Amino acid sequence: MVETTRPRKAFAPWDRRELPGLFDVEETARRVGHYKWVETKLFEALGGWVATVPEMDVKLKLGTHCYHHAWHADLMHKRLPELREMKPERLTVPPNEELVAFIEAMTEPEAAELTIEKLVGVYRVLIPHKIAAYTYHRNNTSTITDAPTIRSLDLMLRDEFDDWRDGEMMIQSLITTPDEVRRAAEHQARLEELMVAAGGIAGPGSIGDPHESGESDSGR
């Protein structure tokens, strides 16, 4: 006789998802607000550089990428009212002053001859950190209760990987001398230090707690 009193599980036997994710509503809203802030700042930076970089091929790519980040900011903006009953503007903030300092340093190169520095800050530092944070969020949030955010992050990550590739190709095409190699490396190191101080684009814990692995100092 078939047992009929046992309640059926939420998901089919071949689907082993868990309902809760790593983030509650407040944490998701906090992170999404930081993502929107970063995307907006990057949109503004690239938009400003389009008018000043002398290399036409770089100018065209920055114009395309600029609107990718504007769209990403809009995607995150639309998620905020659904996550918290408050004005999105209250959540569209940087995680800390250290990330503000990073953005200021990244956008500092203004002279026409500093295209390498502009591109290094965006494509060798900021975008890789964005990809890491978005992937961590996408992989650790609930596939049930936070599915809209996952979809938005998936769409954003496609652009980020494409833009990262374009940016690296532009950088490699511009770096042709030992001095230019040194300029790129020194600028990248400076910005990486600032990003480490910020803890990532969503602050400390952007890609998880480094102590969660359970490894102790004595076990290394």
Phi, psi of 61 (to 5 degrees): -65, -40
Q: Between helices 56-83 and 147-174, what is the axis angle to 10°?
A: 160
Rounded Cα–Cα distance for residues 20 and 18 (Å): 6
pLDDT at 10: 63
Q: 177-207 burial string, b = 16+ CB within 10 Å, else e?
A: eeeeeebbeebbebbeebbeebbbbbbebbb
pLDDT at 155: 98
Band (pLDDT 50/70/90 cuts) for residue 19 is low
Q: What percent of the chain has pLDDT over 70?
A: 85
Whether 69 and 42 have beta carbons less than 8 Å apart is answered as yes
Nearest to 22 by CA among 154, 198, 143, 153: 143
Band (pLDDT 50/70/90 cuts) for residue 105 is very high
Provide the mean pLDDT of the chain.
89
Burial of residue 106 (CB within 10 Å: 0-12, 13-18, 19+) is: buried
pLDDT at 2: 55
pLDDT above 90: residue 209? no
Q: What percent of the chain has pLDDT over 90?
A: 72
Band (pLDDT 50/70/90 cuts) for residue 120 is very high
* Strand runs labelled E in 130-216: none
156-207, pLDDT tens digit by residue? Answer: 999 999 999 999 999 999 999 999 999 999 999 999 999 999 999 999 999 9
- State whether CATH 1.10.3720.10 applies to domain 25-206: no
N-to-C CA span, the chain: 57
Rounded Cα–Cα distance for residues 175 and 166 (Å): 15
Rounded Cα–Cα distance for residues 90 and 107 (Å): 24
Rounded Cα–Cα distance for residues 199 and 193 (Å): 10
pLDDT above 60: residue 5? yes
pLDDT above 90: residue 95? yes
**Angle 177-183-184 (CA atoms, 0-180°, nearest 5)?**
95
